[in-house]
Chain A
Amino acid sequence: MDVSQYLDIFLDESKEHLQNLNTSVLNLEQDPENPDTISEIFRAAHTLKGMAGTMGYKRMQNLTHDMENVFSEVRDGKLKVNAGMIDVLFRCLDAIEEYVSVISETSDEGDNDNEPIIKELNDILAGKAASGEETKAAAEPAPAEAEAAAPAAAAPAVAWDLTEEEQKALEDAMMANKKLYSVTVTVQESCLLKAARAFLVFKAIEERGEIVAANPSTQDIEDEKFDLEFSLIIASEGELDPILKDIKAVSEIADARGGVFEGESAPEAEAASAPAEEKKEAPEPAKDPGTSVAKVKNEVVKKPEPEASGAKTEKKAGSKPAVNRTVRVDIEKLDSLMNLVSELIIAKNSLVSSATSDTTESSSNLHEQIEYLESVTTNLHESVMKVRMVPIESVVSKFPRMIRDISKQLNKPMELYMSGEETELDRTVVDEIGDPLMHMLRNSADHGLEMPEERIARGKPETGSIFLDAYQDGNNVVIEVRDDGNGIDVERVRQKAIERGVMTEEQAYAAEDSDIINLLFMPSFSTAKQVSDLSGRGVGLDVVKSKIEALSGEVDVKTKLGEGTTFTIRLPLTLAIIQALMVVVGGEKYAIALSGIQTIENISPKDVKTVESKEVINLRGTVIPILRLDEILGCKSQRDPDSDMIVVIAKKGDKLAGLVVDHLIGQQEIVIKSMGKYINKCKFISGATILGDGEVALIIDSNALI
């Protein structure tokens, strides 16, 4: 059965179920006895298994099957949930997530069997890993064993990932009463044509036996995709020694070692029985970047550190996904769209009839029809926009799990409180906002919150709190990441700025605190005293800022030393179509987003005062700086300088500024077009739009001007 057409649905639903499972397991950790949670988990695991099976993803099916078994026992009350089990379950979910992400990139599940996790699940089933301590010991070899896949220095302890064909060939050979040898061949470092040497090795072996499996695969070896070593499983009727001798006889082969192959499970049994030893040995080949086998392996193996998820997203960005992105649409939204389209057709028909009728009343009628058409298209736009909107829940729901992991890793008790998960944003924005939010949360967890002792000493509750609040504010969506930690030490940032030569001493002391805090968004400006696993490598807030700005949003920080920090992200509801005020400056047309405009005022030139060499106006008691757009845009105002000025009052948060323009054209719905990367150097031009007559008008980003 060809199931490729269901791939999209499969991926979508798998992600949903995984998210579900993550949340449920998290709940289970808090409330291990809750029967509802347990059956919820069981159902999700069961569905996931069924879906993987239907799609033919055997490895994923195996893993979910074992997971389901565990839950089935838990549900029947035969097993008790404990901390060790929760850890294994989370690792299991990570492994499934890895499968899903590999599938979405390549539409194949990859070749990682995740044997160690399956083994742990089975151990749980067998009741072996009852205490958390033991599970931990058993868990250690999981990453270690997989990384040890690089031919370990000592012996042919190679972890074989056998494909089905290889497995079959192996069984056939055993049936034929042949002996199986596992051989590791090392090529001399100076060897130039490794693939050719490998080929000669193959030739030599084939005189005496048969190659049933290779690591890396024979194809990779022929393509020279190995470093200095490759391993083979050979089926032969003869002894091993003559084979090894023949291999060594090939020139530029440094060494060939081997032994009797004892079946696939051998290395694992070893790993489980001597976890301590394995632990000691394994990290070495893993660290050594020279062995390409290890590298290839690492890609499929989920790394235990949380950065892995960062690395994963990078990988995702680089490769082309195998499926298109989809949005699930509520049927009600589609119905309203359909209604609007019918109205559009009616409006068109009335227009046609008034255009063809010759009566004198038709002109007033035409006007009416155009107004009707206008209202229909505006509604249509709103509805289409709504179709593109998805709740941010899909991104933020993975954060509780992340905070839990960080909390464990850093030994800092903390709690994440979220609100407004139902807030909707454009799908494209929701997809992009995950990484920056994750960064900020990590930042809060790692740098923001103090260690528990410090918190107690300061009279704060031992458990730190991080808040993630989302809400809609006019045409914007605001997301706040807040913590009750230490806050930003502005003085330290100031010192750092001087140290780094970003500012002179004078500048630094003259600068406002908010300007100093904004330095944190500069590339490679980390104030962490120590580089930790989580953050403090100088990549972070600058990435957050550039990412958010790419979505035409902005970030703002408020902090109070000792009390906490609040990061506020402000994002536009939609990116494609906006309501804009069209203005003329120096004979050129420009659009200003209506969402950023407060009022429009007529100001007499006499009322312009100068404060600190900046022009300001006093508008009903508020002093507002004014910006002459003709000067900023580099054109010449064509307005009589003595006549009243037209000032567009723009607002950004609580800041105001008056933009002086020549004329107003009016309000218009505009479609934002990108100008491409050649010409986007200009900070306050956020894009361009095409007007009704085909002319291009630039869009002024009033936020960038303030």
Chain B
Amino acid sequence: MANELSTNINEITQYIVIRIGEEQYGIDIKYIDNIVRMQQITRVPQVPAHFKGVINLRGEVIPVMSIRVKMGLAPDVESKDTRIIIIKMDQHEPIGMMVDMVKEVVNLSSAEIERVGFDRGDNQNAYASGIGKHETGLITLLDLDAVLAGL
């Protein structure tokens, strides 16, 4: 009974858990349009380094960015697990984001999310909106607005 009550009060959000390097990140599922396998990316000249280029997604040309380069990590190494996550937010145009691996989908209730103050100056934390505590470990929740605003 008490359990039921608490789930009612706590809003549940679904996150897709991705791996970037050794860390786990979560992206709110409502912003994800599609997840596609790695494909040929056409390089675009004279754009910032975090743009990998453009891909053909069902007849549309979509830019692809590297979240690793954006966070100041080592450049992407393509593997069979590499995926491109297509992100669609209302106020932004669709964009692809290269990630090392897509792990799973988790449900996080607001009680399991800690909105701690981050040192925004730190590159890796500049794009975090909170930390999710899940049985598989800690998940850094990506603040997509912050990621896309800086493009």
Interchain nearest-CB distance for B86 vs A (Å)? 12
Question: What residue in chain B is nearest A689 (Cβ atoms)?
Answer: B61
Contacts of B48 in A (CB 8 A): 681
Question: What residue in chain B is nearest A695 (Cβ atoms)?
Answer: B40
B151 proximal to A (CB < 8 A): yes
B95 touches A678 (CB 8 A): yes
Q: Which of B43, B47, B62, B63 is the one whose CB lies under 8 Å from A588?
A: B43
Q: State which size class the interface on B falls in.
A: 20 to 34
Complex Cα gap A688–B41 (Å):
12
B46 touches A634 (CB 8 A): yes
Contacts of A697 in B (CB 8 A): 42
Interchain nearest-CB distance for B38 vs A (Å)? 14
Question: By the criterion of a CB under 8 Å from any partner CB, how many residues of chain A are at the interface?
Answer: 22
Interchain nearest-CB distance for A259 vs B (Å)? 51
A690 touches B45 (CB 8 A): no
Interface hit among A315-323, A447-455, A668-676: A668-676
Give per-residue flags for B36-63: 1 if the beta carbon is below 8 A from chain A beta carbons, else 0: 0000101111111001011110011111
A682 touches B46 (CB 8 A): yes
Complex Cα gap A634–B53 (Å):
13
Contacts of B44 in A (CB 8 A): 675, 679, 682, 685, 698
Interchain nearest-CB distance for B24 vs A (Å)? 26
Contacts of B55 in A (CB 8 A): 696
Interchain nearest-CB distance for A580 vs B (Å)? 15
Contact (A633, B40) CB under 8 Å given A675-B54, A679-B51, A694-B56 = no
A655 proximal to B (CB < 8 A): no
Complex Cα gap A282–B48 (Å):
56
Contacts of A632 in B (CB 8 A): 45
Interchain nearest-CB distance for A482 vs B (Å)? 37
Q: Which of B46, B61, B62, B65 is the one whose CB lies under 8 Å from A681?
A: B46
Most chain B beta-carbon neighbours within 10 Å: one of A588, A675, A676, A696: A696
B93 proximal to A (CB < 8 A): yes
B47 touches A674 (CB 8 A): no
Question: What residue in chain B is nearest A682 (Cβ atoms)?
Answer: B46
Interchain nearest-CB distance for A694 vs B (Å)? 5
Contact (A696, B47) CB under 8 Å given A676-B62, A676-B93 = no
A685 touches B45 (CB 8 A): yes
Most chain A beta-carbon neighbours within 10 Å: one of B55, B56, B60, B65: B56
Interchain nearest-CB distance for B46 vs A (Å)? 4
Complex Cα gap A681–B47 (Å):
7
Interchain nearest-CB distance for B6 vs A (Å)? 37
Q: Which of A633, A676, A690 is the one whose CB lies under 8 Å from B63?
A: A676
Most chain A beta-carbon neighbours within 10 Å: one of B42, B46, B59, B94: B42
B43 touches A679 (CB 8 A): no
Contacts of B62 in A (CB 8 A): 676
A677 proximal to B (CB < 8 A): yes
B56 touches A634 (CB 8 A): no
A678 touches B59 (CB 8 A): no
Question: What residue in chain B is nearest A672 (Cβ atoms)?
Answer: B61
Interchain nearest-CB distance for A279 vs B (Å)? 47
Contact (A675, B61) CB under 8 Å given A588-B42, A696-B42 = yes
B95 touches A690 (CB 8 A): no
Contacts of A681 in B (CB 8 A): 46-48
Question: What residue in chain A is nearest B65 (Cβ atoms)?
Answer: A678
Complex Cα gap A521–B62 (Å):
32
B61 touches A688 (CB 8 A): yes
Contacts of A682 in B (CB 8 A): 44-47
B45 touches A634 (CB 8 A): yes
Contacts of B45 in A (CB 8 A): 632-635, 682, 685, 698
Complex Cα gap A697–B63 (Å):
13
Contacts of A695 in B (CB 8 A): 40, 42, 56
Complex Cα gap A211–B97 (Å):
60
A696 touches B93 (CB 8 A): no
Contact (A690, B61) CB under 8 Å given A634-B45, A679-B47 = yes
Interchain nearest-CB distance for A180 vs B (Å)? 50
Contact (A673, B61) CB under 8 Å given A679-B54, A682-B46, A694-B56 = yes
Contacts of B54 in A (CB 8 A): 675, 679, 688, 696, 698
Interchain nearest-CB distance for B74 vs A (Å)? 22
- In A495-549, which residues have CB < 8 Å from any B CB? none
Question: What residue in chain A is nearest B92 (Cβ atoms)?
Answer: A678
Most chain A beta-carbon neighbours within 10 Å: one of B40, B51, B61, B65: B61
Question: What residue in chain A is nearest B48 (Cβ atoms)?
Answer: A681
Complex Cα gap A695–B53 (Å):
12
Interchain nearest-CB distance for A587 vs B (Å)? 10
Q: Which of B47, B60, B151 is the one whose CB lies under 8 Å from A673?
A: B60
Interchain nearest-CB distance for A612 vs B (Å)? 25
Question: What residue in chain B is nearest A629 (Cβ atoms)?
Answer: B45
The 6 lowest CB-CB distance pairs between A and B, nearest first, are A696-B42, A679-B63, A673-B61, A676-B93, A688-B61, A682-B46
Q: What are 29 of the A-B contact pairs (CB < 8 Å)?
A: A588-B42, A634-B46, A673-B61, A674-B61, A675-B44, A675-B61, A675-B63, A676-B61, A676-B63, A676-B93, A676-B95, A678-B51, A678-B63, A678-B93, A678-B151, A679-B51, A681-B46, A681-B48, A682-B44, A682-B47, A688-B54, A694-B56, A695-B40, A695-B56, A696-B54, A696-B55, A697-B42, A698-B42, A698-B54
Extra inter-chain contacts (16) besides given A633-B45, A682-B46, CB under 8 Å:
A588-B42, A673-B61, A675-B44, A675-B63, A676-B93, A676-B94, A677-B93, A678-B65, A678-B151, A679-B51, A682-B45, A685-B44, A685-B45, A696-B42, A696-B55, A698-B54
